[in-house]
A and B are shown apart, each in its own frame.
Chain A
Protein backbone atom coordinates (compact mmCIF):
# COMPACT_ATOMS: atom_id res chain seq x y z
CA UNK A 1 0.00 0.00 0.00
CA UNK A 2 1.26 3.47 -0.80
CA UNK A 3 2.01 5.49 2.31
CA UNK A 4 -0.37 8.17 3.53
CA UNK A 5 -3.70 6.63 2.58
CA UNK A 6 -3.37 3.36 4.47
CA UNK A 7 -5.56 4.43 7.37
CA UNK A 8 -8.23 5.60 4.93
CA UNK A 9 -8.47 2.15 3.36
CA UNK A 10 -7.98 0.11 6.53
CA UNK A 11 -11.42 0.87 7.92
CA UNK A 12 -12.98 -0.38 4.69
CA UNK A 13 -11.01 -3.60 4.49
CA UNK A 14 -11.87 -4.33 8.11
CA UNK A 15 -15.52 -4.77 7.13
CA UNK A 16 -16.24 -8.49 7.00
CA UNK A 17 -16.40 -9.68 3.39
CA UNK A 18 -14.40 -6.83 1.86
CA UNK A 19 -11.53 -8.34 -0.14
CA UNK A 20 -9.83 -5.06 -0.86
CA UNK A 21 -10.12 -1.34 -1.33
CA UNK A 22 -8.48 1.21 -3.60
CA UNK A 23 -8.29 4.90 -4.24
CA UNK A 24 -8.52 5.50 -7.96
CA UNK A 25 -8.13 8.62 -10.06
CA UNK A 26 -11.58 8.94 -11.58
CA UNK A 27 -10.57 10.48 -14.88
CA UNK A 28 -7.81 8.09 -15.97
CA UNK A 29 -8.43 5.06 -13.77
CA UNK A 30 -4.93 5.03 -12.25
CA UNK A 31 -4.43 3.55 -8.79
CA UNK A 32 -3.67 6.18 -6.14
CA UNK A 33 -3.49 3.70 -3.28
CA UNK A 34 -4.58 0.15 -2.75
CA UNK A 35 -5.09 -2.49 -0.12
CA UNK A 36 -6.02 -5.60 -2.06
CA UNK A 37 -5.70 -9.34 -1.78
CA UNK A 38 -2.68 -10.56 -3.73
CA UNK A 39 -4.58 -12.26 -6.51
CA UNK A 40 -6.57 -9.18 -7.51
CA UNK A 41 -5.23 -7.28 -10.53
CA UNK A 42 -5.60 -3.83 -9.06
CA UNK A 43 -4.67 -1.74 -12.07
CA UNK A 44 -7.12 -3.44 -14.41
CA UNK A 45 -9.92 -3.35 -11.87
CA UNK A 46 -9.21 0.32 -11.14
CA UNK A 47 -9.44 1.25 -14.81
CA UNK A 48 -12.70 -0.61 -15.26
CA UNK A 49 -14.22 0.76 -12.07
CA UNK A 50 -13.35 4.31 -13.10
CA UNK A 51 -14.77 3.79 -16.58
CA UNK A 52 -18.00 2.31 -15.24
CA UNK A 53 -18.39 5.17 -12.81
CA UNK A 54 -17.77 7.78 -15.53
CA UNK A 55 -20.32 6.18 -17.84
CA UNK A 56 -22.94 6.27 -15.12
CA UNK A 57 -21.98 9.81 -14.13
CA UNK A 58 -22.63 10.94 -17.70
CA UNK A 59 -25.81 8.87 -17.89
CA UNK A 60 -27.23 10.34 -14.68
CA UNK A 61 -26.28 13.82 -15.85
CA UNK A 62 -28.09 13.21 -19.14
CA UNK A 63 -31.10 11.99 -17.18
CA UNK A 64 -31.14 15.24 -15.22
CA UNK A 65 -29.87 13.64 -12.04
CA UNK A 66 -26.84 14.67 -9.98
CA UNK A 67 -23.61 12.66 -9.95
CA UNK A 68 -23.85 9.17 -8.39
CA UNK A 69 -22.89 9.05 -4.72
CA UNK A 70 -22.72 5.28 -4.78
CA UNK A 71 -22.23 2.76 -7.57
CA UNK A 72 -22.90 -0.90 -6.86
CA UNK A 73 -22.15 -3.66 -9.36
CA UNK A 74 -23.69 -6.87 -8.12
CA UNK A 75 -22.44 -10.14 -9.55
CA UNK A 76 -23.26 -13.75 -8.70
CA UNK A 77 -20.29 -14.09 -6.37
CA UNK A 78 -19.69 -10.60 -5.03
CA UNK A 79 -19.77 -6.88 -5.57
CA UNK A 80 -17.78 -3.92 -6.76
CA UNK A 81 -18.63 -0.72 -4.86
CA UNK A 82 -17.61 2.83 -5.78
CA UNK A 83 -17.99 6.09 -3.84
CA UNK A 84 -16.66 9.41 -5.21
CA UNK A 85 -14.36 11.51 -3.04
CA UNK A 86 -13.00 15.00 -3.56
CA UNK A 87 -10.96 16.05 -6.58
CA UNK A 88 -12.12 13.23 -8.83
CA UNK A 89 -10.77 10.41 -6.68
CA UNK A 90 -12.92 7.30 -6.34
CA UNK A 91 -13.03 4.98 -3.35
CA UNK A 92 -13.42 1.45 -4.72
CA UNK A 93 -14.10 -1.74 -2.76
CA UNK A 94 -14.24 -5.36 -3.86
CA UNK A 95 -16.50 -7.49 -1.70
CA UNK A 96 -17.90 -10.97 -1.23
CA UNK A 97 -21.50 -11.86 -1.96
CA UNK A 98 -22.62 -11.95 1.66
CA UNK A 99 -21.22 -8.56 2.62
CA UNK A 100 -23.19 -6.02 4.64
CA UNK A 101 -23.36 -3.44 1.85
CA UNK A 102 -24.68 -0.72 4.13
CA UNK A 103 -21.72 -1.00 6.48
CA UNK A 104 -19.19 -1.09 3.65
CA UNK A 105 -20.83 1.94 2.08
CA UNK A 106 -20.69 3.81 5.36
CA UNK A 107 -16.97 3.14 5.74
CA UNK A 108 -16.36 4.15 2.11
CA UNK A 109 -18.19 7.44 2.64
CA UNK A 110 -16.13 8.04 5.80
CA UNK A 111 -12.97 7.33 3.83
CA UNK A 112 -14.05 9.75 1.11
CA UNK A 113 -14.72 12.42 3.72
CA UNK A 114 -11.43 11.76 5.47
CA UNK A 115 -9.60 12.54 2.26
CA UNK A 116 -11.15 15.98 2.17
Chain B
Protein backbone atom coordinates (compact mmCIF):
# COMPACT_ATOMS: atom_id res chain seq x y z
CA UNK B 1 0.00 0.00 0.00
CA UNK B 2 1.39 3.38 -0.90
CA UNK B 3 2.30 5.91 1.73
CA UNK B 4 -0.47 8.18 0.55
CA UNK B 5 -3.13 5.51 1.06
CA UNK B 6 -1.72 4.69 4.48
CA UNK B 7 -1.76 8.34 5.45
CA UNK B 8 -5.37 8.70 4.36
CA UNK B 9 -6.40 5.62 6.29
CA UNK B 10 -4.60 6.92 9.37
CA UNK B 11 -6.37 10.24 9.02
CA UNK B 12 -9.74 8.46 8.83
CA UNK B 13 -8.94 6.36 11.88
CA UNK B 14 -8.07 9.53 13.76
CA UNK B 15 -11.18 11.36 12.63
CA UNK B 16 -14.05 9.25 11.40
CA UNK B 17 -15.82 12.34 10.05
CA UNK B 18 -12.86 13.49 7.96
CA UNK B 19 -13.53 14.15 4.27
CA UNK B 20 -10.41 12.13 3.52
CA UNK B 21 -12.75 9.26 2.68
CA UNK B 22 -13.38 10.95 -0.68
CA UNK B 23 -9.82 10.75 -2.07
CA UNK B 24 -9.26 7.40 -0.35
CA UNK B 25 -12.34 5.80 -1.96
CA UNK B 26 -11.36 7.25 -5.32
CA UNK B 27 -7.77 6.01 -4.98
CA UNK B 28 -8.97 2.50 -4.11
CA UNK B 29 -11.38 2.57 -7.05
CA UNK B 30 -8.58 3.53 -9.41
CA UNK B 31 -6.49 0.65 -8.06
CA UNK B 32 -9.38 -1.72 -8.82
CA UNK B 33 -10.15 -2.46 -5.16
CA UNK B 34 -13.87 -1.88 -5.61
CA UNK B 35 -14.95 -3.66 -2.42
CA UNK B 36 -12.54 -1.60 -0.36
CA UNK B 37 -13.55 1.58 -2.14
CA UNK B 38 -17.24 0.85 -1.54
CA UNK B 39 -16.65 0.22 2.18
CA UNK B 40 -14.83 3.53 2.56
CA UNK B 41 -17.44 5.43 0.53
CA UNK B 42 -20.36 3.95 2.47
CA UNK B 43 -18.70 4.72 5.80
CA UNK B 44 -18.20 8.30 4.61
CA UNK B 45 -21.79 8.57 3.43
CA UNK B 46 -22.96 7.50 6.86
CA UNK B 47 -21.31 10.63 8.26
CA UNK B 48 -22.05 12.89 5.30
CA UNK B 49 -25.36 11.82 3.73
CA UNK B 50 -25.95 15.26 2.20
CA UNK B 51 -22.56 15.62 0.54
CA UNK B 52 -22.90 15.49 -3.25
CA UNK B 53 -19.24 14.52 -3.71
CA UNK B 54 -19.77 11.46 -1.53
CA UNK B 55 -22.66 10.20 -3.68
CA UNK B 56 -20.58 10.98 -6.77
CA UNK B 57 -17.63 8.86 -5.65
CA UNK B 58 -19.91 6.00 -4.59
CA UNK B 59 -21.66 6.19 -7.98
CA UNK B 60 -18.32 5.85 -9.79
CA UNK B 61 -17.53 2.76 -7.75
CA UNK B 62 -20.93 1.25 -8.57
CA UNK B 63 -20.46 2.05 -12.26
CA UNK B 64 -17.07 0.33 -12.27
CA UNK B 65 -18.70 -2.66 -10.62
CA UNK B 66 -21.31 -2.77 -13.39
CA UNK B 67 -24.25 -1.75 -11.19
CA UNK B 68 -25.33 1.04 -13.55
CA UNK B 69 -28.84 1.46 -12.18
CA UNK B 70 -27.62 2.14 -8.64
CA UNK B 71 -24.89 4.37 -10.03
CA UNK B 72 -27.56 6.42 -11.81
CA UNK B 73 -29.52 6.64 -8.56
CA UNK B 74 -26.47 7.91 -6.67
CA UNK B 75 -25.68 10.52 -9.33
CA UNK B 76 -29.33 11.52 -9.24
CA UNK B 77 -29.02 12.12 -5.50
CA UNK B 78 -25.84 14.14 -6.05
CA UNK B 79 -27.69 16.36 -8.52
CA UNK B 80 -30.60 16.77 -6.14
CA UNK B 81 -28.11 18.04 -3.56
CA UNK B 82 -26.12 20.13 -6.05
CA UNK B 83 -27.78 20.69 -9.45
CA UNK B 84 -24.50 21.93 -10.95
CA UNK B 85 -22.38 19.01 -9.80
CA UNK B 86 -20.00 18.37 -12.68
CA UNK B 87 -19.08 14.82 -11.68
CA UNK B 88 -22.72 13.76 -11.50
CA UNK B 89 -23.50 15.29 -14.90
CA UNK B 90 -20.43 13.59 -16.33
CA UNK B 91 -21.48 10.24 -14.90
CA UNK B 92 -25.08 10.52 -16.07
CA UNK B 93 -23.81 11.60 -19.49
CA UNK B 94 -21.70 8.45 -19.62
CA UNK B 95 -24.66 6.26 -18.68
CA UNK B 96 -26.92 7.95 -21.23
CA UNK B 97 -24.27 7.36 -23.90
CA UNK B 98 -24.09 3.68 -22.91
CA UNK B 99 -27.86 3.45 -23.37
CA UNK B 100 -27.66 5.18 -26.75
CA UNK B 101 -29.51 8.27 -25.51
CA UNK B 102 -27.22 10.69 -27.29
CA UNK B 103 -29.25 13.87 -26.82
CA UNK B 104 -29.45 13.26 -23.10
CA UNK B 105 -25.74 12.44 -22.99
CA UNK B 106 -24.92 15.72 -24.74
CA UNK B 107 -27.11 17.67 -22.31
CA UNK B 108 -25.37 16.20 -19.27
CA UNK B 109 -21.87 16.56 -20.70
CA UNK B 110 -22.46 20.19 -21.68
CA UNK B 111 -23.63 20.89 -18.13
CA UNK B 112 -20.57 19.07 -16.78
CA UNK B 113 -18.36 21.22 -18.96
CA UNK B 114 -20.09 24.39 -17.85
CA UNK B 115 -19.41 23.36 -14.23
CA UNK B 116 -15.72 22.85 -15.01
CA UNK B 117 -14.60 24.10 -18.43
CA UNK B 118 -11.08 22.80 -17.84
CA UNK B 119 -12.08 19.15 -17.45
CA UNK B 120 -10.42 17.54 -20.46
CA UNK B 121 -12.11 14.20 -19.91
CA UNK B 122 -15.47 15.93 -20.44
CA UNK B 123 -14.22 17.67 -23.58
CA UNK B 124 -13.02 14.32 -24.89
CA UNK B 125 -16.32 12.64 -24.01
CA UNK B 126 -18.22 15.43 -25.75
CA UNK B 127 -16.21 14.92 -28.92
CA UNK B 128 -16.99 11.20 -28.85
CA UNK B 129 -20.70 11.71 -28.20
CA UNK B 130 -21.00 14.45 -30.78
CA UNK B 131 -19.32 12.18 -33.33
CA UNK B 132 -21.79 9.42 -32.52
CA UNK B 133 -24.65 11.91 -32.68
CA UNK B 134 -23.65 13.10 -36.13
CA UNK B 135 -23.13 9.53 -37.36
CA UNK B 136 -26.59 8.59 -36.10
CA UNK B 137 -28.12 11.58 -37.86
CA UNK B 138 -26.36 10.65 -41.11
CA UNK B 139 -27.62 7.11 -40.84
CA UNK B 140 -31.14 8.38 -40.25
CA UNK B 141 -30.85 10.55 -43.34
CA UNK B 142 -29.88 7.63 -45.57
CA UNK B 143 -31.98 4.80 -44.21
CA UNK B 144 -35.25 6.23 -42.95
CA UNK B 145 -38.53 7.21 -44.56
CA UNK B 146 -38.58 10.37 -46.74
CA UNK B 147 -40.25 12.56 -44.12
CA UNK B 148 -37.73 11.36 -41.52
CA UNK B 149 -34.84 12.07 -43.90
CA UNK B 150 -36.18 15.56 -44.36
CA UNK B 151 -36.30 16.13 -40.60
CA UNK B 152 -32.75 14.84 -40.17
CA UNK B 153 -31.53 17.10 -42.97
CA UNK B 154 -32.88 20.16 -41.18
CA UNK B 155 -30.97 19.14 -38.05
CA UNK B 156 -27.64 18.24 -39.57
CA UNK B 157 -27.06 19.87 -42.94
CA UNK B 158 -27.81 23.53 -42.62
CA UNK B 159 -24.84 25.04 -44.40
CA UNK B 160 -23.45 25.29 -47.92
CA UNK B 161 -19.80 24.28 -48.55
CA UNK B 162 -17.21 26.83 -47.30
CA UNK B 163 -16.12 27.99 -50.73
CA UNK B 164 -19.70 28.88 -51.66
CA UNK B 165 -20.17 31.16 -48.67
CA UNK B 166 -19.61 34.88 -48.61
CA UNK B 167 -18.00 36.84 -45.80
CA UNK B 168 -21.47 37.75 -44.57
CA UNK B 169 -22.84 34.20 -44.64
CA UNK B 170 -19.80 32.21 -43.60
CA UNK B 171 -21.41 31.09 -40.33
CA UNK B 172 -24.95 30.78 -41.69
CA UNK B 173 -26.71 27.78 -40.22
CA UNK B 174 -24.83 27.83 -36.95
CA UNK B 175 -26.69 28.91 -33.83
CA UNK B 176 -26.29 32.72 -33.77
CA UNK B 177 -24.15 32.54 -36.91
CA UNK B 178 -25.62 35.60 -38.57
CA UNK B 179 -25.20 38.20 -35.87
CA UNK B 180 -23.14 36.68 -33.07
CA UNK B 181 -20.03 35.31 -34.76
CA UNK B 182 -17.23 37.46 -36.05
CA UNK B 183 -13.97 36.56 -37.73
CA UNK B 184 -11.31 39.24 -37.38
CA UNK B 185 -7.60 39.63 -37.95
CA UNK B 186 -5.15 40.27 -35.09
CA UNK B 187 -5.17 44.00 -35.91
CA UNK B 188 -8.85 44.23 -35.19
CA UNK B 189 -10.22 44.33 -38.72
CA UNK B 190 -13.32 42.31 -39.50
CA UNK B 191 -12.94 39.51 -42.02
CA UNK B 192 -16.29 37.76 -41.99
CA UNK B 193 -19.44 37.13 -40.00
CA UNK B 194 -21.38 39.76 -38.15
CA UNK B 195 -22.08 41.13 -34.72
CA UNK B 196 -25.15 42.99 -33.56
CA UNK B 197 -25.99 44.32 -30.11
CA UNK B 198 -29.15 43.23 -28.30
CA UNK B 199 -30.73 46.42 -29.66
CA UNK B 200 -29.91 45.35 -33.22
CA UNK B 201 -27.09 47.82 -33.95
CA UNK B 202 -24.18 46.66 -36.07
CA UNK B 203 -21.24 46.72 -33.65
CA UNK B 204 -18.84 44.44 -35.51
CA UNK B 205 -16.19 46.99 -36.47
CA UNK B 206 -16.16 48.72 -33.09
CA UNK B 207 -15.88 45.51 -31.08
CA UNK B 208 -13.21 44.14 -33.43
CA UNK B 209 -11.18 47.33 -33.05
CA UNK B 210 -11.13 46.98 -29.26
CA UNK B 211 -9.80 43.44 -29.64
CA UNK B 212 -6.82 44.54 -31.73
CA UNK B 213 -3.67 43.30 -30.07
CA UNK B 214 -5.44 40.85 -27.78
CA UNK B 215 -3.85 37.91 -29.54
CA UNK B 216 -0.32 39.21 -28.95
CA UNK B 217 -1.08 40.05 -25.33
CA UNK B 218 -2.58 36.63 -24.71
CA UNK B 219 0.48 35.10 -26.31
CA UNK B 220 2.86 37.13 -24.15
CA UNK B 221 0.88 36.33 -21.02
CA UNK B 222 0.92 32.62 -21.74
CA UNK B 223 4.63 32.73 -22.52
CA UNK B 224 5.46 34.63 -19.31
CA UNK B 225 3.51 32.15 -17.27
CA UNK B 226 4.84 29.19 -19.26
CA UNK B 227 1.32 28.03 -19.96
CA UNK B 228 1.87 26.99 -23.59
CA UNK B 229 -0.30 28.25 -26.46
CA UNK B 230 -3.41 30.15 -25.50
CA UNK B 231 -6.64 28.57 -26.70
CA UNK B 232 -9.50 30.86 -25.84
CA UNK B 233 -10.56 33.79 -23.70
CA UNK B 234 -14.04 34.13 -22.25
CA UNK B 235 -15.38 37.36 -20.78
CA UNK B 236 -18.59 36.78 -18.83
CA UNK B 237 -20.81 39.74 -17.98
CA UNK B 238 -24.13 39.81 -16.19
CA UNK B 239 -26.04 39.94 -19.47
CA UNK B 240 -23.75 38.33 -22.01
CA UNK B 241 -20.54 36.48 -22.80
CA UNK B 242 -17.79 37.09 -25.34
CA UNK B 243 -15.68 34.07 -26.33
CA UNK B 244 -12.52 34.63 -28.35
CA UNK B 245 -10.50 31.84 -29.94
CA UNK B 246 -7.88 31.50 -32.64
CA UNK B 247 -8.89 29.12 -35.43
CA UNK B 248 -5.69 29.94 -37.35
CA UNK B 249 -2.68 32.08 -36.31
CA UNK B 250 -3.76 34.94 -38.56
CA UNK B 251 -7.40 35.18 -37.50
CA UNK B 252 -9.51 35.37 -34.35
CA UNK B 253 -13.05 34.16 -33.87
CA UNK B 254 -15.39 36.05 -31.56
CA UNK B 255 -18.68 34.61 -30.34
CA UNK B 256 -21.18 36.78 -28.49
CA UNK B 257 -24.14 35.29 -26.63
CA UNK B 258 -26.46 36.13 -23.82
CA UNK B 259 -25.91 34.42 -20.47
CA UNK B 260 -28.55 31.77 -21.12
CA UNK B 261 -25.92 29.93 -23.17
CA UNK B 262 -23.68 27.90 -20.82
CA UNK B 263 -19.91 28.27 -21.10
CA UNK B 264 -19.57 24.69 -22.27
CA UNK B 265 -22.03 25.29 -25.08
CA UNK B 266 -20.05 28.34 -26.12
CA UNK B 267 -16.94 26.19 -26.32
CA UNK B 268 -18.66 23.66 -28.54
CA UNK B 269 -20.04 26.38 -30.82
CA UNK B 270 -16.56 27.88 -31.04
CA UNK B 271 -15.09 24.55 -32.12
CA UNK B 272 -17.69 24.18 -34.88
CA UNK B 273 -17.36 27.79 -36.02
CA UNK B 274 -13.54 27.55 -35.96
CA UNK B 275 -13.66 24.56 -38.26
CA UNK B 276 -15.89 26.43 -40.72
CA UNK B 277 -13.72 29.55 -40.45
CA UNK B 278 -10.56 27.57 -41.19
CA UNK B 279 -12.07 25.99 -44.28
CA UNK B 280 -13.50 29.30 -45.43
CA UNK B 281 -10.14 31.04 -45.05
CA UNK B 282 -8.41 28.24 -46.96
CA UNK B 283 -11.00 28.58 -49.74
CA UNK B 284 -10.31 32.31 -49.98
CA UNK B 285 -6.58 31.67 -50.45
CA UNK B 286 -7.23 29.08 -53.17
A and B found bound together: yes
Write the chain B residue with the least CB distance to A68.
B235
Set A72, A77, A101: member contacting B233, Cβ < 8 A: A72
Q: Tell me the interface secondary structure of chain B in the complex.
A: mixed
Q: CA of A74 to CA of B245 in the docked complex: distance in angstroms?
A: 10
Which residues of chain B are within 8 angstroms of A56 by Cβ–Cβ distance? 210-211, 214, 233, 235, 242
Which residues of chain A are within 8 angstroms of B224 by Cβ–Cβ distance? 40-41, 44-45, 48
- How many pairs of residues, A versus B, come closer than 8 Å at their CB atoms? 138
Q: Does residue A3 face the partner (Cβ distance < 8 Å to B)?
A: no
Q: Does residue B67 face the partner (Cβ distance < 8 Å to A)?
A: no
Q: CA of A68 to CA of B239 in the docked complex: distance in angstroms?
A: 9
Taking the closest CB of chain A, its distance from the CB of B238, in whole angstroms, is 5
Q: CA of A79 to CA of B229 in the docked complex: distance in angstroms?
A: 11
Q: Does residue B142 face the partner (Cβ distance < 8 Å to A)?
A: no
Q: Is the CB of B207 within 8 A of A62?
A: yes
Stretch of B11-19, B155-163, B194-202 with 4 or more beta carbons under 8 angstroms from chain A:
B194-202
Q: Does residue B167 face the partner (Cβ distance < 8 Å to A)?
A: no
Number of B residues near A (Cβ < 8 Å) is 43
Q: Does residue A63 face the partner (Cβ distance < 8 Å to B)?
A: yes
- The interface centre, meaning the residue of A45, A55, A71 with most chain B CB atoms within 10 A of its CB, is A55
What per-residue 1/0 map shows which CB atoms of A20-42 lie under 8 Å from chain B? 00000000000000000000110
Q: Does residue B226 face the partner (Cβ distance < 8 Å to A)?
A: yes
Which residues of chain B are within 8 angstroms of A66 by Cβ–Cβ distance? 237-240
Write the chain B residue with the least CB distance to A100.
B116
- The interface centre, meaning the residue of A52, A72, A75, A94 with most chain B CB atoms within 10 A of its CB, is A75
Set A55, A70, A100: member contacting B214, Cβ < 8 A: A55
Contact flag A72-B117 (CB < 8 Å), given A49-B221, A62-B203, A65-B237: yes
Q: Is the CB of B235 within 8 A of A64?
A: no
Q: Does residue A87 face the partner (Cβ distance < 8 Å to B)?
A: no
Which residues of chain B are within 8 angstroms of A70 by Cβ–Cβ distance? 234-236
Q: Is the CB of B242 within 8 A of A40?
A: no
What per-residue 1/0 map shows which CB atoms of B219-254 lie under 8 Å from chain A? 011101111111111111111101000000000000
Q: Is the CB of A59 within 8 A of B234?
A: no
Set A60, A63, A74: member contacting B230, Cβ < 8 A: A74
Q: Does residue B115 face the partner (Cβ distance < 8 Å to A)?
A: yes
Q: CA of A31 to CA of B250 in the docked complex: distance in angstroms?
A: 32
Set B84, B230, B238: member contacting A73, Cβ < 8 A: B230
Which residues of chain A are within 8 angstroms of B226 by Cβ–Cβ distance? 77
Q: Does residue A12 face the partner (Cβ distance < 8 Å to B)?
A: no
Q: Is the CB of B221 within 8 A of A74?
A: no
Q: Does residue A91 face the partner (Cβ distance < 8 Å to B)?
A: no
Q: Tell me the interface secondary structure of chain A in the complex.
A: mixed
Contact flag A75-B237 (CB < 8 Å), given A45-B224, A51-B217, A101-B118: no
Q: Does residue B206 face the partner (Cβ distance < 8 Å to A)?
A: yes
Q: CA of A79 to CA of B118 in the docked complex: distance in angstroms?
A: 9
Q: CA of A76 to CA of B206 in the docked complex: distance in angstroms?
A: 29
Taking the closest CB of chain B, its distance from the CB of A20, in whole angstroms, is 9
User: Which A residues lie at the B interface, using CB under 8 A?
Assistant: 40-41, 44-45, 48-49, 51-52, 55-60, 62-80, 94, 97-102
28 contacts between A and B (CB under 8 A): A41-B224, A45-B225, A49-B221, A52-B233, A55-B213, A59-B235, A60-B237, A62-B203, A62-B207, A64-B197, A65-B256, A66-B237, A67-B237, A68-B235, A68-B236, A69-B237, A70-B235, A73-B230, A74-B118, A74-B232, A74-B233, A75-B225, A75-B230, A97-B120, A98-B118, A99-B118, A100-B116, A102-B86
User: Which B residues lie at the A interface, using CB under 8 A?
Assistant: 84, 86, 115-118, 120, 195, 197-199, 201, 203, 206-207, 210-211, 213-214, 217-218, 220-222, 224-240, 242, 256
